[in-house]
Structure 1
């Protein structure tokens, strides 16, 4: 058995620890950076469900509200205030996406892709056997399916909306272009 001097074992270990230590310091200094611009923020963080503590700008940036107004195809006469209230924004793949709760849209929750009926759906179908739909106040607005009653049994029908890579309904979230 060949013996190695102890320094040949210690030196490589010290070098590895030094490299890890330098890398950790670099990342921690990057982690301390803050952003007021939502577009710069999303480019930096990549993908997050909602802005974190490192985003220091307004809850709903005017640039995001204006972008959402444009995405909706709203007339110029539509007050921007409508889009400043009830708007959620997040980052996906380094880009800004926004949604406005307007007509009971579930911007704040991920899509419900489950096909297991809830107790409320079971009750509804017992009371409305054979109904060709279960209202959204029963199914919840996050479901992606058109639910109905097959006799007294709730059944998930056609899928009404697709889900994006973060788990949100694609049809209610809009990519917002940098102004």
Structure 2
């Protein structure tokens, strides 16, 4: 009994010196306003429901997809992040990279593809070799990958600008 009382006193004393409490933001919108920029790409989490976020993400997804949608579609098909205090959303797809774009001018996949496929000299390197998150398009020249052009215009945070839309 005395040990339990002593333990409670220690916990009370420690909590008094832990500094101000930091309240969890009430919504994803509030969290984004507080964060400003957060490059963490997230999916809707039904275990931590945010009714406005769910409705807005569902409305955005429905504007992009012409089939009836369910919550599972929302979880699997839409990513969101914070930029300049606002929520931006991206529809995930095979050729639609919602992650940050690689800005490296060298591409290991493209280099390897050109090295082992000499018949592709003068031809474009396919995206399966470069990765869908590559900033540059490549072409094979004499067994090496050379930059042909850009695949994506980037926003200020390094994401494909055309894929991310504000939803608020």
Q: How does the TM-score come out when normalised to structure 2?
A: 0.71
Please state how far the C-alpha of 1:148 moved relative to its aligned partner.
1.0
Query: Are residues 43 and 57 of structure 1, via their aligned partners in 2, closer, same or farther at CA, if it must alter by over 3 Å?
Result: farther
- Runs of 5+ unmatched residues, structure 1: 1-24
Match of 2:132 among 138, 141, 144: 141
RMSD (CA atoms): 2.8
Give the one of 129, 132, 140 matched to 2:123: 132
Among candidates 7, 21, 24, match of residue 34 of structure 1: 24
Alignment of 1:1-179 (within 5 A): 28-29=20-21, 32-50=22-40, 57-58=48-49, 61-72=53-64, 74-75=65-66, 77-81=67-71, 82-107=73-98, 109-118=99-108, 120-126=109-115, 127=117, 128-177=119-168
TM-score of the superposed pair, with normalisation by structure 1: 0.67
Aligned residues of 1:146 and 1:157 also touching (Cα < 8 A): yes
Number of paired residues?
143
User: What secondary structure, in the 3-state scheme, does the structure 1 residue paired with 2:87 have?
Assistant: strand
For residues 112 and 166 of structure 1, the distance between their equivalents in structure 2, rounded to whole angstroms, comes to 12
Q: CA deviation at 1:58?
A: 3.7
Deviation string 1:67-116 (CA, Å, 9 cap, x unpaired) is: 422552x34x5314423323221110010011122224222x31111111
Tell me the distance in 2 between the aligned counterparts of 1:162 and 1:62. 28
Q: In the alignment, is the contact (CA less than 8 A) between 1:38 and 1:57 conserved in 2?
A: no
DSSP 3-state at the match of 1:44:
helix
Q: Where do 5+ consecutive residues of structure 2 fail to align?
A: 1-18
